[in-house]
């Protein structure tokens, strides 16, 4: 019974700090790497690869600090290659740096494709086997555990099966604890991988094997899951699939599939924290989260079509393959011109709009359902009309909430525009333009007239608007404009086309998005800015009630 349970345990090895940092546009600081290490340790990863000790000042500092941490579960590994040709293992700078890194586990890679041995290393095939044996044997004397990554194994197997297997046996004979089959070029298709693993198992015990796949054919997740089906229990990959070229196997897709669909023991209850870790890594990489990632992405459980939403109201299983909360995600209902009444009702509930209560009161407890259906139908009609003009509420939930408030006659205009003027002036060819906005507002019968500069016309208008309002509404002082996007709607009209402006705003506790549409980019920006400020003031007012 214990053996059967043990066979269902999966070792997860994350290499986002090394392999993932080779992804284009990713550059982790030492503090970033320490933060990711702590997060992966907290949710129960078996191994976290830290990088190349001694190869650069950043990794030297990382291992100096990381080796002093008291990790709960994760085994921090130092990465490197087999010894150089013509150098003894105990004199090899790379192997010495691994031993002196202060961590207990090592991962080294060696050549298993004869092409690399001949053309890259330019040594006899037998000498490469000695490099593997010597390096693993040396590290086994000084480390608690050694993982051997067979680089380019699947390519090597295809071109010289016998030699590729010899490299694995050399690592096994020298005492490697795990022997990892690497698809370094990422070109192996799933059915090829299955056949090769089955053959390798005649030489190496399956429980000792690991898998490390790159995603150049978009099959790394599938290949990893198939490897587990064929007995592999040590899987390598990265959070969010970061990695060189097209990335590595995405652990955020692999782990839920293993745990929820294949019955393996991976993270247990900590699976609910997977999305949280995914977002953390994105933030530290300074990259926007990929909303379309399975399981952890914002769109993974987002429903737009009216038929779909109507069905999940009755039973979420109709259009959801797992429960969102199991991976720390949530169900989202999108509102668009494809929406039905079910979208409106679910979205209003999600936003706490009280549409049902409004219908109940308006119907005087009679005809409640009819009134509610009429509300939903009228809102759907309004949304479709607005989206036909270019509005989009999928990414502007704050504007949608304000729209519902207007429909229910609960909306308050916290200020009234009397007029504004924006000047964008460039005086000399080699000088940047100057933007200035002048604005006049009315707040509770009082006029306020002010001006402000900005690094562009929209920034100047935003500065002037808030400058005018802050004396009336001091709570606006912590409001920040976080993102600004412009999309041309009717591209055939050139510079005269209508544009959609999406603005993301935030304060010390929340973030929200608003939308504005107009043929004039300044007016479209103004509409989105007004919604953003009204939303902020509405939420502040509710918090004070």
- Of 133, 195, 132, 123, nearest to 158 by C-alpha is 195
Q: Determine the Cα–Cα distance for residues 4 and 341; give it in Å rounded to an integer.
A: 50
CA–CA distances in Å: residue 297 to residues 78, 121, 328, 334: 31, 42, 10, 15
Domains (range + CATH), the chain: 2-285 (3.20.20.70), 302-388 (no CATH), 415-472 (3.30.160.740)
* Backbone dihedral angles phi then psi of residue 485, each to the nearest 5 degrees: -125, 140
CB contact at 8 A, 133 and 173: yes
Rounded to the nearest integer, the mean pLDDT of the chain is 87
Distance from chain centroid for Cα 258: 20
Bridge partner residues of 417 (DSSP): 441
- Tens digit of each residue's pLDDT (9 = 90 or more) over 476-488: 988 888 888 888 8
Q: Per-residue pLDDT for 139 more than 70?
A: yes
- Rg of the chain in Å (alpha carbons): 29
* Pairing state between β 499-506 and 480-488: antiparallel
- Tens digit of each residue's pLDDT (9 = 90 or more) over 382-398: 777 777 777 777 677 88
Global pTM exceeds 0.95: no
Report the run of H or E that residue 536 belongs to, with start and end. helix 521-544
Q: Per-residue pLDDT for 289 more than 90?
A: no
Q: Specify the residue for token string 């000790």.
A: 53
Which tops the pLDDT comparison, 340 or 295? 295
Please state, for a pLDDT cut of 90, what percent of the chain lies above it: 61
Structure tokens at 466: 């808030």
- Tens digit of each residue's pLDDT (9 = 90 or more) over 153-202: 999 999 999 999 999 999 999 999 999 999 999 999 999 999 999 999 99
CB contact at 8 A, 310 and 271: no
Q: Determine the Cα–Cα distance for residues 321 and 331; give it in Å rounded to an integer.
A: 12
Bridge partner residues of 145 (DSSP): 105
- Tens digit of each residue's pLDDT (9 = 90 or more) over 430-461: 888 889 999 999 999 999 999 999 888 888 99
CB contact at 8 A, 233 and 9: yes
């Amino acid at each position: 019974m214990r053996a059967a349970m043990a066979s269902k345990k999966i070792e997860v090895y994350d290499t986002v700090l090394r392999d993932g940092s080779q992804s284009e546009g990713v550059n982790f600081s030492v503090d970033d790497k320490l933060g990711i290490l702590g997060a992966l340790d907290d949710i129960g990863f078996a191994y976290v690869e830290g990088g190349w000790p001694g190869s650069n000042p950043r990794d030297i500092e990382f291992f100096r600090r990381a080796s002093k941490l008291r990790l709960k579960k994760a085994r921090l590994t130092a990465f490197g290659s087999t010894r150089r040709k013509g150098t003894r293992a105990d004199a090899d700078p790379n192997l010495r740096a691994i031993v002196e890194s202060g961590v207990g586990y090592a991962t080294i890679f060696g050549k298993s494709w004869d092409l690399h041995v001949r053309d890259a290393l330019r040594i006899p095939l037998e000498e490469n086997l000695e490099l593997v044996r010597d390096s693993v044997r040396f590290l086994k004397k000084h480390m608690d555990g050694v993982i051997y990554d067979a680089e380019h194994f699947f390519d090597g197997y295809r071109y010289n099966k016998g030699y590729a297997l010899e490299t694995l046996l050399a690592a096994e004979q020298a005492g490697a604890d795990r022997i990892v089959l690497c698809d370094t070029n990422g070109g192996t298709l799933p059915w090829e991988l299955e056949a090769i693993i089955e053959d390798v198992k005649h030489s190496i015990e399956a429980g000792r094997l690991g898998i490390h796949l790159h995603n150049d054919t978009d099959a790394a997740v599938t290949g990893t899951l198939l490897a587990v089906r064929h007995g592999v229990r040590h899987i390598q990959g990265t959070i969010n699939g970061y990695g060189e070229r097209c990335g590595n196997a995405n652990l955020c897709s692999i782990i839920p599939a293993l745990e929820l669909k294949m019955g393996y023991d991976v993270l247990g209850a900590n699976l609910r924290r997977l999305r949280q870790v995914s977002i953390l890594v994105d933030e530290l990489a300074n990259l926007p989260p990929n909303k379309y990632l399975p399981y952890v992405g914002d769109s993974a459980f987002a429903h737009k079509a009216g038929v779909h939403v109507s069905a999940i109201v009755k039973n979420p299983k109709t259009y959801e393959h797992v429960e969102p909360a199991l991976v720390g995600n949530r169900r989202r209902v999108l509102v668009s011109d494809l929406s039905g009444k079910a979208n409106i009702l679910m979205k209003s509930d999600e936003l706490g709009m009280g549409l049902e209560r409004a219908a109940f009161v308006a119907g005087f407890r009679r005809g409640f359902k009819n009134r509610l259906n009429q509300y939903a139908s009228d809102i759907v009609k309004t949304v479709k009309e607005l989206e036909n003009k270019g509005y989009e509420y999928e990414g502007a939930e704050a504007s949608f909430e304000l729209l519902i408030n207007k429909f229910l006659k609960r909306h308050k205009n916290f200020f009234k525009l009397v007029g504004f003027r924006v000047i964008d002036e460039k005086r000399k060819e080699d000088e940047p333009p100057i933007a200035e906005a002048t604005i006049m507002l009315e707040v509770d019968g009082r006029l306020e007239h002010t001006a402000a500069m900005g690094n562009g016309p929209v920034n100047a208008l935003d500065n002037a608007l808030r400058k005018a309002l802050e004396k009336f509404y001091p709570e606006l002082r912590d409001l920040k404009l976080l993102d600004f996007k412009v999309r041309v709607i009717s591209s055939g009209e050139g510079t005269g086309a209508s544009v959609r402006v999406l603005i993301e705003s935030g304060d010390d506790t929340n973030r929200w998005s608003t939308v504005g549409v107009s043929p004039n980019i300044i007016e479209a920006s103004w509409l989105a800015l007004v919604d953003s400020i009204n939303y902020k003031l509405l939420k502040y007012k509710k918090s004070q009630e």
